[in-house]
Amino acid sequence: MSIDKLRNRLRSGLAIPAHPLALNRGRKLDERRQRALSRYYVEAGAGGLAVGVHTTQFGIRKVGLYSPVLELASETVRSSTAEHTVLIAGVIGDTKQAVAEAQTAVELGYHTGLLSLAALKDATDDELIQHCRAVAEVIPLFGFYLQPAVGGRRLSYDFWERFAQIERVVAVKIAPFDRAETINVGQAVAASGRNDIALYTGNDNDIVGDLVDPFPTGSDTGESHRFIDGGLLGQWAMWTKTSVELLARCKLARTHGDPALEALGRALTTANATIFDSANKFAGCIPGIHEVLRRQGFLEGTWCLDPHECLSPGQADEITRICEAYPFLTDDDFVANRIDGWMS
């Protein structure tokens, strides 16, 4: 995929799930279930897959699973009929590590790298830009504003305007879980003059709001406002079929309106708060995603690489409650009719 085609695909607005990690009881990679998840996302209509990211668990690097997990997803996508699926690799660490991960991702057929700057907590903007340029020489960049509550750092308006001026930047995932900071990033990208950079929400707590409500650009580029194009979300790692349909509905609502979307957005935010365990500072975020996938039959359990990372007390009961309260958010029937094929 050429970088121009990649830009066009991302700017069209895609639903991109953040790929979880399927582990067995011994906390080892379950390749069959890992492949099944990738097949599910493709058949549900996801426009891309993000692998090696927070939802995949950053700890895969310490146990030698970074390359195997990326390779599994890449092979699975390429053996499907989804020719235009965008493959996004999570890239983290200091410059040496990030460049090495970017090289691995390129070798495995990934199109862009979702670059987390969480490891560079004390770096200046100049140092951050130098780091980003080094990684961009290896792989096109998908910028990432990770919320501080799960390990990210604050990134300034000036940083994002300068980041957007890096030639091989193709998109930015905006996930500070803060509306003002979200608008800040969008306005900084607009101020850079780059209208070919796609904007993606990672704010799982306000998905519909981000996708439907435009923000003023604050620039003189000719665009008085801008919409966020699509979503790259941990929330979309489950119930993906309905998530794809939701994105299409949000796009249509930008021009035609949809009064019912506000209530749907509130329901989704409520569900996300439970699944991501916001009441406990997101301690059960990844296990919460696993629990939904376990109930659908994808995962054998909710195990994470870290044995201390588990569902919070009462979280499973709360997930039951929101599933019963908001059945229209789920895609259980779609999964039940196809999961045996994905598992084969």
Residue 30 near residue 22, CB atoms below 8 Å: yes
Question: d(Cα 114, Cα 141) in Å, to the nearest integer?
Answer: 6
Amino acid identity, position 97: Q
Q: In the chain, what are the domain boundaries?
A: 3-257
The per-residue pLDDT for range 127-138, each reduced to its tens digit, is 999 999 999 999
When pLDDT is averaged across residues 28-45 and rounded to a whole number, the result is: 98
The per-residue pLDDT for range 4-16, each reduced to its tens digit, is 999 999 999 999 9
pLDDT band at residue 225 using 50, 70 and 90 as cut-offs: confident
Q: How many CA atoms lie within 13 A of 158 on its CB side?
A: 4
CATH class of the domain at 3-257: alpha beta
In eight-state DSSP terms, residue 173 is E
With a pLDDT cut of 90, the percent of the chain lying above it is 87
What's the CA angle centered on 228, arms 154 and 163, to 5 degrees? 45
> Distance between alpha carbon 159 and the CA centroid of its chain, in Å?
21
Question: d(Cα 131, Cα 171) in Å, to the nearest integer?
Answer: 17
Q: With b meaning 16 or more CB within 10 Å and e meaning fewer, what string describes 118-131?
A: bbbeebeeeebbeb
Q: How many residues does the chain have?
A: 344
Residue 258 near residue 252, CB atoms below 8 Å: yes
The per-residue pLDDT for range 191-224, each reduced to its tens digit, is 898 989 999 999 999 999 999 998 887 655 556 7
Across the chain, what does the average pLDDT equal? 94
Amino acid identity, position 144: F
Measured N-to-C along each axis, helices 315-325 and 285-296 cross at an angle, to the nearest 10 degrees, of: 60
Tokens at residue 266, please? 């509130």
Answer whether residue 85 shows pLDDT above 90: yes
Question: What's the pTM value of the predicted model, to 2 decimals?
Answer: 0.95
| β-bridge pairing 15-17 and 230-233 | parallel
Q: What is the pLDDT of residue 223?
A: 63
Q: Between the CA of residue 338 and those of 22, 38, 83, 306, 344, what are the distances in Å?
A: 18, 13, 21, 31, 10
Sign of CA dihedral 203, 208, 209, 214: positive
With a pLDDT cut of 70, the percent of the chain lying above it is 98
Amino acid identity, position 147: Q
The single residue listed with the structure tokens 């996508």 is: 77
Residue 203 near residue 169, CB atoms below 8 Å: no
